[in-house]
Structure 1
Amino acid sequence: MPLVRPALTTELTKDVFVKQIHSHNDYWREYPCLTALSLGVQSIEADVWVFPELNDSTVYVGHNLASLTPDRTFESLYLNPIMSLIEAFNPVTDETKEADTLNGVFDTDSGATLYLFVDMKTDGLATWPYVYNALEPLRKKNYLSTYDSANGTWKQGPVTVIGTGNTPFEQVEKLTARDVFFDGVLGGLNDSFTAYISPIASSSLEALVGKVESVDGLNSSQTQQLSQAISDAHAKGIYTRIWDTPWWPVEKQTNVWRQILQAGSDFLNADDLEYAVHFQ
């Protein structure tokens, strides 16, 4: 039986509680973004590509070059659905027109922001202006979280955009009115990183603690390294995410996930969302 496309209404997240899960490779799913939101997943990710050298201004979404198609774009798979959902949660009526806050995309927690990771796969400096400009419809509606570096003012919006991959740090850092943030380097957070540049810091598990050999998960030394990196991030007010964890055998995945959560990491990085949302 074919899947029914999730409706872009407030019913999508009705009675769904927000979970600090990061939907890795979200675009693999038949309905990127919407599937994750329907499960209460708070963080999603798009791998983006641009080809200005071909006089093409489209921002494509895909895992690799072979997967790119004209209909799989940043706008169609992510920005338009997110825009429609936020508009559905913020109807303009006599009762709401004077409201000074905006509802997010989760019905059970209207104040929760949606973290939208944008993994730039093509050259960062070349990709940056296309991604930044693509966000303009959300920017105009004040849907994006912002930080005004001139007066130190943070304003959380329905969507918090975080650049990763080849995102150029210097472009994020120099934004006076910052509404695109940077995926911090977990385990390497020097003085350049603050919560107002990097709300979240990430690392692959192997880069952070080395290869996990045992089905029982991390050894004591690895556990200590993990805990220290998370503690360092939290001291800066930065949330954490660990990616590229073992997925097989399942017992190994389960043990490692539990250790990551016990160490205090904030977002559970997952490809299998159904498994992740029921993980205990």
Structure 2
Amino acid sequence: MYAEFDLTIPADLPEAIRALGAAGKRVVPLSGGTNVLVDVRSQRIAPDCILDLNRLGELRGIAVDSGRVTLGARTTVGDLMASGELARHAPALVQAATVFAGQMVRNAATVAGNIACGSPAADLVPPLLSLDAEVTLSSVRGSRTLALADYYLGYKSDRREADELITAISWPVPGANSFGSFYKLARRKGDAITVTAVAVSIGIAGSRCDRARIALGSVAPVPMRARRAEAMLEGAELTPDRIAAAAKAAMEECSPIDDVRATGEYRRHMVGVLTARLISAAVQAQK
């Protein structure tokens, strides 16, 4: 049984933002609904009003302009899979999209929704972290931009105010010497929650790494960057020993839990395995 709530269907973004800031009401934005409706039905959340964003075409789309890639908040996982520009500029994100839930969910679920749900296992967040993505938040007060790496405060907790709406996600176009990749470890190939996820973005200049991003999912209260491991790679030659040391550092930085899908010890071990595998693949791709 669904809880009782009002339904507001704005015709444009300004109307949506005004409705989101309605005084005295808990207003929950909805686009794909693949998380929100489940939470409403289970009474994990009890909104006074659902704000249906599905008429806001301006919030859906993929653009590459002035050296940046920008996704509208309502861009679906299916849209990511179909984009040739993202295949060039964000292959790790497309890889994450292809293993995201099942086809019907991919057709509805949105990028902003995956970010906003706050799950440690959110599949799109590690590749976005590896791309240095930023999130644009809009309200009646105006817009502000936060680095996705600074967006989360803790489990299911973030910096978005109640009257703010995620309207865009963007990142710089990676350099020509960059390699990005993502791997999701799960107990089956489809409709599976992540056991461990690793995304890397590696830039190689000559024989040295000039940029390293290693992002991890489902191994901490929020998706995270393995910053100590990144620092070990930047400016260094990507030798097998250096890669192994960075993978070990990534293992030590995460804090996975035991649950029904895997033990924390197994998750930590697989962070090391997958980090080393993806960085080694980057080295081979640049040869």
Task: Judge same fold: TM > 0.5, yes or no.
Answer: no
- TM-score normalised according to structure 1 size: 0.29
- TM-score normalised according to structure 2 size: 0.28
